[in-house]
Amino acid sequence: MIDDAVRERSGALVQTLLDSIRIASVSLTGEGIGDQVAFLRKRLEGWGFAVEVHDTTSHPIIYAEAGPADAKFTWLLYGHYDVYPADEKQEGWRTKPFEPVIEGDRIWGRGAGDNKGQHLAMLGAIATWRETRGELPVRIKLILEGDEETGSVPLPKFVEANRARLKADLCVYSDGPMFPNDQPVLLMGVRGNLGLEFISKGAKRNLHSGNFGGVAPNPTLDLIHFLAEIVDRDGKLTVPGAGYADVKVAPADLEAVRTLPVDHEGFRESVGADPTTGSDDALFHERLMLRPAFNVSGFAAGYSGAGSKSIIFKEAIAKADVRLVAGQDPVAVADAIRAHAAKLGYKGIEIKSLKGTPASRTPLDHAFVPMVRDAVAKGFGRDPFVVPSLGGTTPDFVFTKLLGLPSIVIPLAPYDENNHAPNESTKVSLYLAGVRSGLHLLEAMARA
Ligand SMILES: [Zn+2]
């Protein structure tokens, strides 16, 4: 019945995604945001949602509810309608990013995977239910934000302010890539992210290295040394109390990653190198999901043009992003790094926190896991892996920490979705499997 309903409506379901991709909605520039909000409001109202558009300090948050007010089960559903910027001239797109193209099973276009092809699949399930069976069996509370790609700044405030209204039994949403070869997964959490900037200052002007070398402060060397004191070559943070070794990993989490496969060939093809964890597949997933990782994402100092310059530059800057795991507070980690700098006597280095999103976790053995796993297995015709965490970051903490809800993520984009890069895509088959999974989930929630 669900298979037939989705097959019969597949044209319209895919069309909704194409229509959404066509409206740019780039949060960084604001392009098309108003049009995307208007598009979603109209569609949602057509599917029976009561829709509110909330202004924020940035782009609007769409909040909508549907289904009986007295339903026994409430599903909190989340998504983001904004997309990462796409400059077709600079980035080498084969097609125009905001003119979606279908080739075989692929849908090409910015936002196809991240996140339009994901939240619209879940909404497609709700729309299909309404069209084929009438009233929904559960209460749905929907949040669609427009700032995910720029850090979800307004979302925590919105959730805090609407805590009472957002009461629900379970948060389930779709984001992120699946495992290779279209292997479905349930993500029971996400890593957090801390953005840092290190500004190292020395003399008040650039100095001649002959006249001053050895006697003047050298902020470039200071910064290089300091970074080497807080992180090893593997990206393991070594700051006491906040480092890699200080993170407690639960035995159940280690057990869950022990049997997960690594697609070595796919990794090599995508990255152009082998994993730094070698042939140890369990360690690969442990490091990606259960351990923090420190990355220097930028370093600017001195002169790197042709020839050489004998100058001691007055300033050096580094940017870093730290992926955090459960139990690590972004503010505490930044403070520990600052305290370490002070203790080691790096007086000229200022450390600024640029952004901080905590990690988020729901226990692997939560009572709702079998229900969601079952719905996804039916929707995809294939059992999902239940994995502790996404390597990346979503604002999942607002659901688990601020609302105290269990939260389970069902990624619907292919492993090679190329989000944030040229030639982003999703697959029609995965999008429709997502719609089927959503319908099975509604059936199961009605019985929960
Ligand atoms: Zn994204």
* pLDDT over 80 (residue 333): yes
Q: What is the mean pLDDT of the chain?
A: 96
Residue 333's H or E segment, with its range, is helix 330-344
Mean pLDDT score, 12-30: 97
Q: What are the chain's domains?
A: 2-190+359-447 (3.40.630.10), 192-261+281-355 (3.30.70.360)
Binned at pLDDT 50, 70 and 90, residue 168 comes out as very high
**Cβ-Cβ contacts under 8 Å for 235 (sequence gap 6 or more):** 293, 294, 295
Q: What type of residue sits at position 430?
A: L
pLDDT, residue 400, reads 98
Mean local confidence (pLDDT), 204-227? 97
pLDDT tens digits along 394-447: 999 999 999 999 999 999 999 999 999 999 999 999 999 999 999 999 999 999
Question: Based on C-alpha coordinates, what's the Rg of the chain?
Answer: 24
Over range 40-59, report the average pLDDT: 98
Mean pLDDT of 249-268: 93
Residue 91 has pLDDT above 90, yes or no: no
The predicted pLDDT at position 243 comes to 87
Distance 84 CA to ligand 1 centre (A): 6
Neighbours of 435 (CB within 10 A): 26
CA distance 316 to 262: 38
pLDDT at 167 over 70: yes
Q: Which helix (H) or strand (E) holds 76?
A: strand 74-80
Residue in 115, 81, 110 with CA at minimum distance from that of residue 94: 110
Residue 169 or 393, more confident: 169
* pLDDT for 234: 84
Q: How confident is the model at residue 90 (pLDDT cuts 50, 70, 90)?
A: low
Task: Please tell me the predicted confidence (pLDDT) of residue 318.
Answer: 98
Centroid of ligand 1 to alpha carbon of 176 (angstroms): 8
Flag whether pLDDT at 149 surpasses 80.
yes
Q: Which residues lie below 8 Å from residue 153, measured CB to CB, with a gap of 6+?
A: 57, 58, 147
78 CA distance to ligand 1 centroid (A)? 14
Q: How far is the CA of 355 from the centre of ligand 1 (A)?
A: 16
For residues 401 and 405, give the distance between their C-alpha atoms in angstroms, rounded to a whole number: 8
Q: Where are the beta strands (DSSP E) in 302-428?
A: 311-312, 315-324, 349-357, 360-361, 385-387, 407-409, 425-427
Compute the distance from residue 392 Cα to the ligand 1 centre, in Å.
10
Q: How far is the CA of 420 from the centre of ligand 1 (A)?
A: 6
- pLDDT above 70: residue 283: yes
Specify the DSSP element, H or E, that contains 291. Answer: none
For 288-323, how does the pLDDT look when each residue is reduced to its tens digit (9 = 90+)?
Answer: 999 999 999 999 999 999 999 999 999 999 999 999
Sign of CA dihedral 144, 178, 149, 244: positive
Place of tokens 């060397």: 221
Give me ligand 1 centre to Cα 361, in Å. 20
Q: Are 13 and 435 in contact (CB under 8 A)?
A: yes
On the question of a cis peptide bond just before residue 295, with omega within 30 degrees of 0, the verdict is no
Residues 6+ apart with CB under 8 A from 404: none
Contact 247, 332 (CB under 8 A): no
Instruction: Tell me what percent of the residues of the chain surpass a pLDDT of 70.
Output: 99
User: In the prediction, which pLDDT does 103 show?
Assistant: 98
| pLDDT number for residue 92 | 87
- How many residues in total does the chain contain? 448
Residue 65 has what pLDDT?
Answer: 98
